[in-house]
Structure 1
Amino acid sequence: MLKGLYNWAMAKAAHPHAFAWLVAFAFAEATFFPLPADVLLIPMILAVRRRAWILAAACTAASVAGGCVGWAIGFFAFEEIGRPLLELYGAMDKMAVVKTEYEKYDELFVAIGALTPVPYKVVTVSSGFFQMDPFAFTAVSLIGRGVRFFAVAGAVYLLGPMAEKLVRRNLKLAFAIFLAFFVAGIVLIGWVL
Structure 2
Amino acid sequence: MRWAAFPGSVELSRELFVSLGAPGLFAVAFLEFFLFPVPPDFVLVPLAVANPTLAFGYAAVATAGSVLAGGLGFLVGRAGGRRVLDGRFAGDRVERAEAYVERHGAATVAVGAFAPIPEGYELLSVASGALGLAPRSYLAASLAGRGGKYFLEAAVVLALGEAARSLGETQLYAVLGVAALVAVLAYLLGRRWRPTLFGSATD
Q: Does TM, scored on the shorter chain, surpass 0.5?
A: yes
Residue matched to 1:176: 170
Residue matched to 2:162: 161
CA drift at 1:176: 2.9
- Which one of 21, 28, 33 corresponds to residue 31 of structure 2? 28
Residue matched to 2:200: none
Deviates more, 1:78-87 or 1:148-157: 78-87
Deviates more, 1:3-12 or 1:132-141: 3-12
Residue matched to 2:99: 100
Answer whether contact 1:68 1:124 (CA < 8 A) is retained.
yes
Evaluate the alpha carbon distance shift between residue 31 and residue 136 of structure 1 in structure 2; reply closer, same or farther with a 3 A threshold: farther
Residues 135-187 of structure 1 show CA distances to partners (whole Å, capped at 9, x for unaligned) of 100011111211111000110122111222x33xxxxxx2333565688779x
Answer whether contact 2:86 2:94 (CA < 8 A) is retained.
no
Evaluate the alpha carbon distance shift between residue 151 and residue 105 of structure 1 in structure 2; reply closer, same or farther with a 3 A threshold: same
Residue matched to 1:112: 111
1:9 matches 2:9: no
CA drift at 1:6: 4.4
Structure 1, unmatched stretches of 5+, are 168-173
SS of alignment partner, residue 33 of structure 1: coil
Q: Distance in 2 between matches of 1:96 and 1:81?
A: 13
Answer whether contact 1:73 1:82 (CA < 8 A) is retained.
no
Deviates more, 1:30-39 or 1:43-52: 30-39
The amino acid that maps onto 1:70 is G
Residues 56-94 of structure 1 show CA distances to partners (whole Å, capped at 9, x for unaligned) of 01111121111111101111135776544324xxxx333
CA drift at 1:97: 3.5
Residue matched to 2:67: 64
Answer whether contact 1:29 1:120 (CA < 8 A) is retained.
no
Q: TM-score, normalised by structure 2?
A: 0.72
Answer whether contact 2:14 2:38 (CA < 8 A) is retained.
no
SS of alignment partner, residue 160 of structure 1: helix
Higher RCO, Cα 8 Å, sep 6+: 1
1:74 matches 2:77: yes
SS of alignment partner, residue 89 of structure 2: helix
Task: Tell me the percent identity.
Answer: 27
Evaluate the alpha carbon distance shift between residue 81 and residue 32 of structure 1 in structure 2; reply closer, same or farther with a 3 A threshold: farther
Count of residues paired in the alignment: 176
Answer whether contact 1:116 1:181 (CA < 8 A) is retained.
no
Q: Distance in 2 between matches of 1:46 and 1:7?
A: 19
The amino acid that maps onto 1:176 is T
Evaluate the alpha carbon distance shift between residue 85 and residue 51 of structure 1 in structure 2; reply closer, same or farther with a 3 A threshold: farther
1:143 matches 2:144: yes
Residue matched to 2:44: 41
Deviates more, 1:174-183 or 1:112-121: 174-183
CA RMSD of aligned residues (A): 3.0
Residues 111-136 of structure 1 show CA distances to partners (whole Å, capped at 9, x for unaligned) of 11111111311111111111111110
